[in-house]
Every structure is written in structure tokens, then in C-alpha cells.
Structure 1
Amino acid sequence: MSALFRRRRDVVDGSGTTGPARVDARTKNLTKRLKPGEIAVIDHEDIDRVSAEALVACRPLAVLNAARSTSGRYPNLGPGILLEAGIPLVDDLGPAIMSVREGQLLSVEGAEVRSGATLVAEGTVQDAEVIEANMAEAREGLSTQLEAFAANTMDYVRRERELLLDGIGVPKVRTSFEGRHVLVVVRGYHYKEDLAMLRSYIREYRPLLVGVDGGADAILEAGLRPDMIVGDMDSVSDKALSSGAEIVVHAYRDGRAPGQKRMEDLGVEHVVFPATGTSEDIAMLLADDSGAELIVAVGTHDTLIEFLDKGRSGMASTFLTRLRVGGKLIDAKGVSRLYRTRISTWQLVLLALAGLLALFVALAATNVGQTIFGLSGAWFDDVVNFFRSLVGLAPSAPTT
């Protein structure tokens, strides 16, 4: 066991941790108001990487999970991320923990959670050994998840083949994608780092910026303005929605669009896009069908484990969308390795030196230039003779 894991286990198993509770069954909603020094109370089976990183960024004293942080369905990444960050994790506490009031003072002592002298719930402390055992069990069951993933993929093909193959159902939008680069930003894995690496690319190519739900706020945080926002609008701020970007509300296949009422309440014009799958999928399909030349993805999913780590069957649509737009799609990390600015620093230096040399030659060919050089030579002689006189040397011969 690493020293970090031993240290954090001592914290949980020792004198305990005490702080006010922040309670929400949806982790992404909780992280919007969770503050450092508070205790996060969630009901999240199979904590995924994005949720864990969002919790780590909030710096809570501990995370208390009503559900199992790793169910054994697949080797999810979240528990290990929390433990590596030094945040105690107690899971499988049961529904009783969700009855805790917002702001109620809780004490975490080992696997026990108390409010004052009252035992609220008892679960399982997630330490290095427990996580390692859970991961081994989950890897054994991975084949079952692969079979389910394949079945979901085929089901998605049957339901959305017209959209995938012919683009039937893609709404008309006012934003012109034709021949443009499009940057699709999802608030997912390492999106901040990816955006930072793409600064030069954005400055030079001026791609259309499409924020997927909270990705629109990520664009604003980077000092940029989104051209379009796509999603069910449950995790994007009013500031982003009022930024002037075109709004595309992701709806269910039957036409129900939970985010539409919010747009109507804000008085924001919007277009509804009914489709199965995730909002990042329909953003890419929309860009592809509208004639985008290149689609650059920030914070999206790349690997099979990342697809499974999202924890929902709808990720099959993401896999198929990648196949549909694959000829145009580039991951942001790939762009950062492949892309270089067209004019390097050394090229600029050489260009400046060449300009100075050309100026020198041009001046030398004119009477005015020769006079300037003569005066410069006399001034230089005076400076040299001044320093020679300081050390007792005879004056040097004048420069002709």
C-alpha cells in the first residue's frame, strides 16, 4: 500500500473527520455547491472518472456514498482517483445516509457516520486493498459488459439508422458550418488542459466553438465565446445561455424536451433536436451533416473503458457516432501533438535579421546612409577612446 493510502486510512480510522454535509443524489449537481471542508453525501453507483475529478476539485473532507462505489460491472476509475487525491471514501451506506439534512454536522469515524452521538449509517471504507479487490472482480465481469455494450449498439442502429446514415432529423440551424473547423467542448476528461493546449489553434484557425451543456461554461472560462450550445440544458449556466450563442435543445425521440421550458422562461430562441444518445453525439452529427470540414473534440470519450465508465447504455451511440464522423474527427490531445503554428519563433528571428541586413545594405548604397555610417563611426571612436583613456592607453586611430 502506498504511503498516501496509509496516511488517508489513518485519517479515516483514527480520530475521525467532522464537517457539514452537502447532500444530492446527482453528483454533478452536488459539485456545483460543494465547498472545501464539507462532506459530500451522494448516491452514485460506480463512481466514474469525471464525477470523481469534479469531487476532487471541490476538496471535500470526505465522500459518503449510499450506493456501492464499484458494483463489479466494470473497472470504474472514480474510487481510485478519490483515494489518490487523499479524500476518504465510505460507500454502501444505504438509503439512510440520504436522509441527512443539508448542512447537518456529520462525523466520519472509520466506516461509521454519526450525527452527534447518533449512528446515522455504517458502510465500507474504501482503501487501497478494497479498491484493488473490487477492480479485480470488475475485470472478471468485463466480458458481460462488452456483450451488453454490443447489444445496445445494435439496438441503437435499428432505432437511429436514418439519422446515422442519411442525417434525417437533423434540424436546420442559422450557424454556418460549411467548410469550417468546429471545436466541440465537453466538460469531460482534462477539458481545461486540452483547451489550454489549443490556444494557438483557436487563435489561428478561428473554429466554430460548440459547447455541450457545461462545456459552454468551459469555453467562457477560457475567455472565449461559444457559437452554439447543444444539450438538455441541465448543467449550463444562465450566463452561457444568454451569451448570444445559438441554442440546440436535445430532446427525447418522442419529442419531450425537459430543457425547453428553461429556454422559454429565459426568453432564449432555440431549436429542438429529438434524438437518442448523448448530447455530444448530436453536436458532432449536427456539425458533420452541416458541412464542417474538421471536428475537434475536447473532453470527450476515447477508449472502451471511458465509454463504459460513463455508466449508461446510451454510450453505444457515442461509439457509432465516432464511426460516422471518424473521417473528420480529431481528439484534442492529437491536435496538440500534431499542430504547430505556421510561423515559429526562429522563423520570426531570422525574418527580423534579414530585414535589418536589407536595411543596412540599402543605407550603404545612398549618400545619406554613408553620412549616417560615418557619423556613427566617429561616435563609436569617441566612445572607444574614452574607455582607453580611463585605463591609460593611447587613443586609437579614427575610423575612416
Structure 2
Amino acid sequence: MKFSGLLSRTNHEPPGVTGVARVDRRTGDLLRRLGPGDVAVLDHVDLDRRTAEALVGAEVVGVVNASPSISGRFPNLGPELLVAAGVPLVDGVGTGVLRELKDGEKVRLHAGAVYVGDREVARGVEQTAESVADAMIEAKAGMAAQLEAFSANTIEFLRRERALLLDGIGVPEVYVPLRGRQVLVVAGGPRHAADELRGLRKYVREHRPVLVGVEAGADTLHAAGYRPDIIVGDPDGIGTEALRAASEVVVPAQTDGHAPGLERIQDLGIGAVTFPASGNAEDLALLLLDAHGAALVVTVGLRAGLREFLDRGNSGSTPSTFLTRLKLGGKLVDGEAVAALHRSRVSFGAVSLLVLSAVVAMGAALAVSGVGQVYVDMAVDVFRSGFDWLKGFFS
């Protein structure tokens, strides 16, 4: 009986998902080390959308969070995105997991528990679509307090970065011509940004905008077959091929002048300029474009609704994001709106089909009336000329 039971267990895989643990208290450092098949083990209160997008983009098979992914302070977007992507999220297991698990160790997640072999090393709550939805409803009650904190942080940021925001002092010079030109800025996670970028192919082909990649957005541009004109962001989080393809690289720096990732740029032999400011890379990119006179800035992957502002928690980037968008005003346009406008235009195929139908009908009428083949040939020549003109117009 015992022998039979042993055979039964060894012939079946244990339940749950299995992967290689990648452990780090610092979320940014962890994201740079993740790859397909990994289980991300982190300590991140109120998991935000940007982090969740990076986790999904890295193709992790599971996420273990030592802290609550939804604390209830505000309705953050990360857990919802992870669950929708089918990535198991084991939540609130406690900080002990960061000591118990070794980086590179094989782990298994099942029913809210974390196992190494047959040993349970941590237990929390496995989030589902229903549990996340319930938590988000409760979290909306915390929005009023977050808005008050947001207002105070905005005033403080304006005092600290007034010269940059109002007068453009500290914005570095770039060699790519920007004044009076349209610009396409790509940021955000690789999946949804790539989808939006595909919808803008007609816009890019027609208007030839300056292409700006912000951090992971640079890789998205490069993967889509475009060469970034300018890259803004920490080079440590950007692929080598995209960095080498760019005409210019702008590296955000701390106010003391230290620029993370600058050593990598130097090792690659790529020229770069630094941008000392306390805002995030997205906001610095927008301020750079505004200071150098861009006429229109179309964005991909930059969301700035109320939930997105609050989703950044208490980070100093929230006031920066709000004030930056106020500064750019009407020249800032969401890429989805631009794509929708281009989709609504009459397509080349539809117009050419209409012209072809008219020519065929006219040719048939002429043939029946006995006017002669000469006129039919003339109609065909007219169609061909019109077809070439339409092709040039829509290309």
C-alpha cells in the first residue's frame, strides 16, 4: 500500500506553479533581474500599475508580496493587472519570507502558501479577481485622505522645482531638432504600449514625428522596428540594442548630480547628457520636449487620470506628473485618441475599391452600347492613374 501511494505521488506533478525565486527588498533592482519562469519575491505596499506591468512583461510565473498589495489607502491598479494576466499573487506573507527564501531557489506557490520542496516557508492570501474587486471598493474610501496629501506634496514640489517647471532652468540641450515638430513619446509596459504603438503606424508614416522612448518604452520602439531619436531614463533598465540605436540619451540625475546607470552608458561608449531633477523619467521627458519647443506631444503608455495619480502612492513623482501635464496643456495628446482619429479616416482600400467599381461599371456600359474597346482602354488608363495617385496620398 505504501509503495503504491509513493508511485501515485511521483507520477503526478504537485499542484500550483513552480519557478525560480528572485528575492529583493528593492523593487527596482528586482525588476531588472527578472526573466521568464521566475517567481518575484518582493516587499511592496500598494502594488502600482507600472510595477505590475514590468512583472507581466518579464513573464514571471508568480508574485509573492511580503506586504499587502492593496492596503486600503487608495484603489491602486497593480493587483488587478496581475490577476487579469493570470499571474498568481500571494499577498501579505510577512517580511520573514525575504530571509527564508534564497535567491535562485526553486519554489512552488499553491493556495496562498509558498513551498520549498515539501516545506511550507510562508503563507498569505492568494488574490483572485473577486478579492481584488472587493478590496478596491473598500480602498475608494481612502481617496479623500490621499488627495489631501497629494495637494500638500504638490505645493512642496512646486517650491522645490519652481525654476525647472516655470522657466525650464536645468533642462539639458539636445541636438535632435524639436522646435515646431510633432513628437511621439512611448513609455509604460511592453504589452499595452506595443499594442498602442501598432495603432499609430499611419500617424508615424504620415507625420514623421520625433520618436522618444522613456525607459522600457525605448525597447518597445526598437522592437517595433523604429529607431528612437531620444531616450530618457535609467540605462540599467534599457536594452543595449535600443541604447545603441538612439541618436541621443538623456539620463535622469539626482539633485546632487549622481546619475544611476551612467557607468553603463560610459562602458558602452555611448554619449549621454544628464538631467538633474527630482521628477520621474516620464515627466523629465515631457519637460525636455516643452522647453525645446515641440509643437505637439503624442503619448503612448502615459496615463494621467485620478487613479493613476493616486496609484503612485506617496512618491515624489506624483506632484511632478500633475504639474508637468498642466504645463504642457493642450499640446499633450493621448495616443489612443490619435489612433482612433486615423482609424476613422476612409482607408485607401475602400476608396480604390469604389473607384474600381465605377470604372468596371462604366466599361460594361460602354461595351454594351457598342462605343468600342478604345474607350474601355481609356477608362482603364484613367483608373491606373487614379490608383497611383491614391496610393501616394494614403502612403
TM-score, length basis structure 1: 0.79
Contact 2:197/2:300 (8 A) holds in 1: yes
Contact 1:213/1:234 (8 A) holds in 2: no
Assess, with a 3 A threshold, how the Cα gap between structure 1 residues 37 and 263 changes in structure 2: closer, same or farther: closer
1:68 maps to 2:68: yes
Contact 1:73/1:141 (8 A) holds in 2: yes
Alpha-carbon displacement from aligned partner over 1:145-174 (angstroms, at most 9, x marks no partner): 111111111111111222212212212211
Deviation at residue 184 of structure 1 after TM alignment = 0.8
Assess, with a 3 A threshold, how the Cα gap between structure 1 residues 243 and 129 changes in structure 2: closer, same or farther: closer
Contact 2:236/2:264 (8 A) holds in 1: no
Distance 1:343 1:251 in 2: 45
Distance 1:357 1:326 in 2: 51
Contact 2:290/2:328 (8 A) holds in 1: yes
Task: Tell me which residue corresponds to 1:162.
Answer: 163
Distance 1:131 1:117 in 2: 29
Contact 1:230/1:250 (8 A) holds in 2: yes
Distance 1:128 1:295 in 2: 35
Residue identity in the other structure for 1:345: G
| Structure in which a larger fraction of residues adopt helix | 2
- SS class of match (2:196): helix
2:349 maps to which of 315, 325, 345: 345
Q: 1:306-317 residue pairs with structure 2 within 5 A?
A: 306-311=308-313, 312-317=315-320
Contact 2:170/2:276 (8 A) holds in 1: yes
Distance 1:222 1:358 in 2: 43
Q: Which protein is bigger by CA-based radius of gyration?
A: 1
Deviation at residue 137 of structure 1 after TM alignment = 3.2
Assess, with a 3 A threshold, how the Cα gap between structure 1 residues 115 and 222 changes in structure 2: closer, same or farther: same
Deviation at residue 24 of structure 1 after TM alignment = 3.5
Deviation at residue 357 of structure 1 after TM alignment = 11
Task: Tell me which residue corresponds to 1:364.
Answer: none
Deviation at residue 50 of structure 1 after TM alignment = 2.9
Task: Tell me which residue corresponds to 2:327.
Answer: 324
- SS class of match (1:95): coil
Residue identity in the other structure for 1:164: L
Deviation at residue 204 of structure 1 after TM alignment = 0.9
Task: Tell me which residue corresponds to 2:120.
Answer: 119
Alpha-carbon displacement from aligned partner over 1:242-291 (angstroms, at most 9, x marks no partner): 11420111112232212322222222111111122111111111111111
Aligned residue pairs, count:
354
Residue identity in the other structure for 1:131: V
Task: Tell me which residue corresponds to 1:178.
Answer: 179
Contact 1:187/1:218 (8 A) holds in 2: no
Deviation at residue 307 of structure 1 after TM alignment = 1.6
Deviation at residue 372 of structure 1 after TM alignment = 6.9
Task: Tell me which residue corresponds to 2:199.
Answer: 197
Contact 1:248/1:272 (8 A) holds in 2: yes
Contact 1:149/1:313 (8 A) holds in 2: no
Deviation at residue 107 of structure 1 after TM alignment = 3.0
Residue identity in the other structure for 1:299: G
1:97 maps to 2:97: yes
Distance 1:89 1:371 in 2: 75
Deviation at residue 345 of structure 1 after TM alignment = 3.3
Task: Tell me which residue corresponds to 1:44.
Answer: 44
Residue identity in the other structure for 2:335: A
Query: Unmatched 5+ residue regions in structure 1?
Result: 1-13, 360-369, 377-400
The CA RMSD over aligned residues, in Å, is: 3.0
TM-score, length basis structure 2: 0.80
Contact 1:16/1:110 (8 A) holds in 2: yes
